Structure 1
Amino acid sequence: MILIADSGSTKTDWRMIDATGVHEQVYTAGINPQYIDAVQIYSIFEAELLPKLQEKSPTIIYYYGAGCSSPDRNLRVEQALRKAFPASEVHVDHDLLAAARALCGHQPGVACILGTGSNSCLYDGKNIVDNVPSLGFLMGDEGSGAYLGKMLIRAYLYRELPEELATSLKNRYNLTKDGILDAVYYSDMPSTYLATFAKFMSEKRKDPVIHAMIYQNFDEFFERHVCKYKGFTEVPVNFVGSIAYHFSDTLHQVAQKYGAHIGTIITSPSEGLIAYHLELMAQGQGK
C-alpha cells in the first residue's frame, strides 16, 4: 500500500492505493509549512487523518504540498508524517511536481497551478526544467484565488466598486475594515481567507468590473509566468486548480491573446497522480 497526499493551503486529499486501485480516500484541512510548524501539522494528522485510516499503515507515503519548496519546510512535513507513520518510507515534494506529473505524465508541457495560490513550470516529460518563482500572496500569486480576492477587497476598501456590488459583498461577508486587516495580517492562513472571495466573483462574473478583474488576474499570470518559458507556444499549457477550472472561459481568452494552446484543465491532480504512481508500481518502482 502507498499513501498519496495532494495538499494545498485549503484542503488535503489523501488516497491509499495498491496495484488494484484506490482503497481509502480522506480529506483533511490544508497544510502549508510556510505558515505552520511540524507540531501544528501533526495535530491535523492526529485529529483528521489517523482516525479515518483506522491504523492502516502505508509502506510508502508520497506527499506533494503547497509551500514545500525548501529543505526546511519539507522537513516540517516529514517530521509530522514520520511521527504519524513511524514505519513508513516518506517522500515530500512540491505540489508543482504533482501538477507536472498529473497534467503531463511523460510528455513535455507547461504545468500551472491556479488554486488558492499559483505556480508554474516547464516540464520535459521527466523533470521540471524551468520554474518562474512563485512569490506568495504578498509579492505575487498572480492567477490565483488569493490574488483575485486581494483585487476585490482592495477595490472594496478603496471605494472603487459600484455601490450595488459593494453592498452585496459587505452584506454577504459582514465585512469591516478592521476585520479584513486582521484576517490578512494576523491570521495563520491569509491567502486562504482572500481566496474565499473567489466564489463571490464567480457568481458575479458577468458584471463588467468583476470580469475585468478576472481577466487581469490571468493576463498578469501569463505575462509574468507562462510567457517566460522557452517554446511555450509549441507545447500544451496545462492547468490544475479550482480557479483555472471555474474561470476556464476567461482563461482561454487570455491564452488566445498570447498565442498559447491550453491542453488539460482539471480541478485536482489526484487522479493523474494515482495513474502516475500505479504505472510506477507496475514497473516495480513503487510498492
Structure 2
Amino acid sequence: MNVLIADSGSTKTDWRLVTSSAAPRAIQTDGFNPYYQTTEQISTTLRAQLLPQLGGVSVSVAYFYGAGCSGSAVNVVVADALQSVLPDLLAVDINSDMLGAARAAAGREPGIVCILGTGSNACCYDGQQIARGIQSLGFWLGDEGSGGYLGKTLVRDFFQERLPADLRTIFAARYALDRPTLLENAYQKPFPNRYFASFTPFLSENRTHPHIVALLEDAFNLFLDTYVRRFPEANQWPVHFVGSIAYYFAESLQVAVRRTGLAMGHILKAPVERLVDFHRQTA
C-alpha cells in the first residue's frame, strides 16, 4: 500500500511518497489554502505539479496537513481535489497544519507547539490531540511573528521612513519598490501573505543591524505574548517551533523565549520527515 503524506503551508507543500520498496520520495509543489482556493484550483495545481512527480505510482492513502484546514467545510475542498486527481485513493485524512506540527515536534508527549512560517499559530498539544488553541485570524488580523508579519513590518518601516538611512539605501536599491506596486500586491493580488513574506531574506541578510534586531525581538515577543503565554501550560510544558521563520531566525527566537522564562523545545524547519515516522509507528 502506497501512502502520500503532505505538509502544506500557504507558500509550498512538502510531500513524501512512502512505499514498501524504496525510501520515501520527496516531492514539492505550491502551497494550498482552502480559504483562498477552490477544489478546481487545487486540482489544477495537483495535476500540473504533483502527478508528474508521482511517476504513475498508485496512491492508496493520503494524509494531508494544511494551512486553513480547520474544519469539515473547508477540509472537503482539499479532500475532493485529492480524490479527483488520485483515483485509486481508498482513504484520505485531512487535518490542520497545526496538528501536523504538533505530531512532528512533540510526537506523543505534551507540549506547546507553534508554527512560525508564512503564517503563525500555536496550540496546547496533550500528546494525542490539540487540547486548546487560539483561533487564527489570518494575515490581515493576525499572524504575529510570521514571515508575512515580518515582511509587512519591514515594508511599512521603509515607506514610513522609520528604517535607518543605511538600511533604506540597501532596501531601495534591491527592490525598487514604489507605492502603487506595494498596494496592488497588498490589496488586489492573491496571497498578500506570500508577497510580504518574500521580503524576509532582507531581514536575514541584515539580522545583526540594531534596527532589525529590534524588529525581530518585538515581533517574536508579540507572538509569545499573543499566542503562547496565554496558555496556563506554558509554564509547565516545553515550547516547540515549526516553520521556516523559526528555523532561519532561531537565534533571535531563542533569545525571546529565554527572556520570557519559557522552556525551549525543538525547532523544525519542516515537519514532514517526522510525520513519516509518526505514521509508520501508528500504521
Shared fold per TM-score greater than 0.5: yes
Of the three residues 87, 95, 98, the one matched with 1:96 is 98
- Tell me if 1:239 matches 2:241: yes
Distance of 2:88 and 2:136 partners within structure 1: 34
- Give deviations 1:74-120, integer Å, cap 9, x for gaps: 11111110101122111111000000000000000011100000011
Measured after TM superposition, the shift of residue 161 of structure 1 is 0.9
1:62-73 map, 5 Å: 62-73=63-74
Look up the match of 2:171. 169
- Residue 136 of structure 2 aligns to which amino acid in structure 1? S
The answer to whether the 8 Å contact 1:15/1:22 transfers is no
Look up the match of 1:154. 156
**3-state DSSP class of the match of 2:236?**
coil
**3-state DSSP class of the match of 2:114?**
strand
Look up the match of 2:80. 79
Distance of 2:48 and 2:176 partners within structure 1: 30
**3-state DSSP class of the match of 1:141?**
coil
Look up the match of 2:275. 273
Look up the match of 2:12. 11
Of the three residues 185, 188, 200, the one matched with 1:186 is 188
The answer to whether the 8 Å contact 2:112/2:233 transfers is no
TM-score, normalising length: structure 1: 0.95
- Residue 208 of structure 1 aligns to which amino acid in structure 2? P
**3-state DSSP class of the match of 2:266?**
strand
**3-state DSSP class of the match of 1:35?**
coil
Look up the match of 2:59. 58
Which shows bigger deviation, 15-24 or 139-148? 15-24
- Residue 50 of structure 1 aligns to which amino acid in structure 2? L
Which shows bigger deviation, 48-57 or 92-101? 48-57
Measured after TM superposition, the shift of residue 280 of structure 1 is 1.1
- Residue 170 of structure 2 aligns to which amino acid in structure 1? S
CA pair 246-5 structure 1, distance change in 2 beyond 3 A: same
Distance of 1:49 and 1:231 partners within structure 2: 40
Distance of 2:22 and 2:70 partners within structure 1: 29
TM-score, normalising length: structure 2: 0.96
* RMSD, aligned α-carbons: 1.2
Measured after TM superposition, the shift of residue 11 of structure 1 is 0.8
| Aligned residue pair count | 281
CA pair 19-232 structure 1, distance change in 2 beyond 3 A: farther
Look up the match of 1:284. none
CA pair 154-258 structure 1, distance change in 2 beyond 3 A: same
Measured after TM superposition, the shift of residue 19 of structure 1 is 5.2
Distance of 2:30 and 2:277 partners within structure 1: 24
Identity of aligned residues (%): 42
Distance of 1:22 and 1:38 partners within structure 2: 30
- Residue 260 of structure 2 aligns to which amino acid in structure 1? Y
Distance of 2:108 and 2:48 partners within structure 1: 37
Look up the match of 1:196. 198
Distance of 2:213 and 2:65 partners within structure 1: 32
Of the three residues 131, 134, 142, the one matched with 1:132 is 134
Distance of 2:22 and 2:274 partners within structure 1: 13
Q: Which runs of 4+ in 1 moved over 6 A?
A: none
Distance of 2:20 and 2:278 partners within structure 1: 12
Distance of 1:29 and 1:266 partners within structure 2: 20
The answer to whether the 8 Å contact 2:46/2:85 transfers is yes
CA pair 113-225 structure 1, distance change in 2 beyond 3 A: same
Of the three residues 107, 110, 125, the one matched with 1:108 is 110
- Residue 232 of structure 1 aligns to which amino acid in structure 2? A
CA pair 21-108 structure 1, distance change in 2 beyond 3 A: farther
The answer to whether the 8 Å contact 2:148/2:194 transfers is yes
- Residue 36 of structure 2 aligns to which amino acid in structure 1? Y
**3-state DSSP class of the match of 1:228?**
coil
The answer to whether the 8 Å contact 1:118/1:142 transfers is yes
Measured after TM superposition, the shift of residue 231 of structure 1 is 2.1
- Residue 116 of structure 2 aligns to which amino acid in structure 1? L
Distance of 2:253 and 2:82 partners within structure 1: 36
Distance of 2:124 and 2:22 partners within structure 1: 29
- Give deviations 1:213-252, integer Å, cap 9, x for gaps: 1001100010011001112121110001111111111111
Distance of 2:67 and 2:124 partners within structure 1: 18
The answer to whether the 8 Å contact 2:4/2:17 transfers is yes
